[in-house]
Amino acid sequence: MARQNKKAKHGKKRTRINKRKLIIVTVGLLIVAFGLFKIFQTVFSGISVAKENVGSLITAVFGVGEDTSKVNKEKQFDLEEEGITEKKKYVVYIDVGHGGTDVGYKTSNGVLEKDLDLQISKLVSSRLSSQGDLSVVVSRNTDTTLSNSERVEDANKQNADLFVSIHMTGNQDNKAEGVQTFYRVGADDASDELATLIQKSVSAYVNLKDRGVTPFTFDVLQGNNMPAILIQCGFLSNPKEEKKLTNPEFQKDLAEGIYQGILSFLDTQG
């Protein structure tokens, strides 16, 4: 019996030792787990920061990835408020000389003024259309017959801010030369200023005699509700100028001069 009691005592002692080990192991595991938690927390925090930094870099370089929830909505552009079809600031009317049965001046080589008028006008219109604050209207873009009154009425109907009629000219004197710009006699609507600026600009862009600016009573300059001019870009009756006026590169320079003159005028209008 005494031996059994001794064994029992040894059994209880062994149980107490196992419990102590269990507590030590448990505490150790908790410490290890806490340490691992801290390590993972640091790693994920670093990843988050790196991700945020990369996102910021992408946004800065490419302009994408921005969190739209942080954008100040008061500064956003509202299409409904501003109007999708906002009116252009200026309407420029380009009147293409002659057309259809009205051929204008015809050279001995068979060159027709109406065709050159259309070619130059298309170049001018193309340059003007590149300006975001301009709306360009042309009297014709095909070989169509139009009266002078129809041209003026159309420009008024379009509420054009200025009217530019593009022509060539001819003379019995085949030595007559140069470019000249006309405006309505008695005009008090800045037509003379428009004529002056276009004449000055064209003369700077092309090698043609500067014949200056002249008031005149052309029918196409009567009844206009806006500053209106007519430019004669050269004499087709002069063989030298005919050669220039039919040269595509010269036509580009001529058109550029008209275009720049129009822009100079619009700049003065604010």
Tens-digit pLDDT profile for residues 124-145: 999 999 999 999 999 999 999 9
What average pLDDT does this structure show over 101-126?
Answer: 98
What pLDDT is recorded for position 19? 60
76-91 pLDDT tens trace = 333 333 333 455 699 9
pTM, rounded to two decimals:
0.69
Q: 180 near 241, Cβ under 8 Å?
A: no
pLDDT at residue number 243: 98
Report the pLDDT value the prediction gives residue 30, as an integer from 0 to 100.
72
The pLDDT of residue 82: 34
Average pLDDT rounded to a whole number, residues 226-248: 99
For residue 37, is pLDDT > 60? yes
| Cβ proximity of 121 and 94 under 8 Å | yes
Residue 123: closest CA among 229, 233, 234, 253: 253
| Closest listed residue to residue 163, CA positions, set 230, 258, 217 | 230
Q: Phi first, then psi: what are they for 128, rounded to 5°?
A: -65, -35
Distance CA 258, CA 70 (A): 48
Beta-carbon contacts of 122 under 8 Å, excluding residues fewer than 6 positions away, are 141
Q: State mean pLDDT over 256-261.
A: 99
Mean pLDDT of 157-173: 98
Is 236 in contact with 107 (CB distance < 8 Å)? yes
Q: Compute the mean pLDDT over every residue in the chain, rounded to the nearest whole number.
A: 82
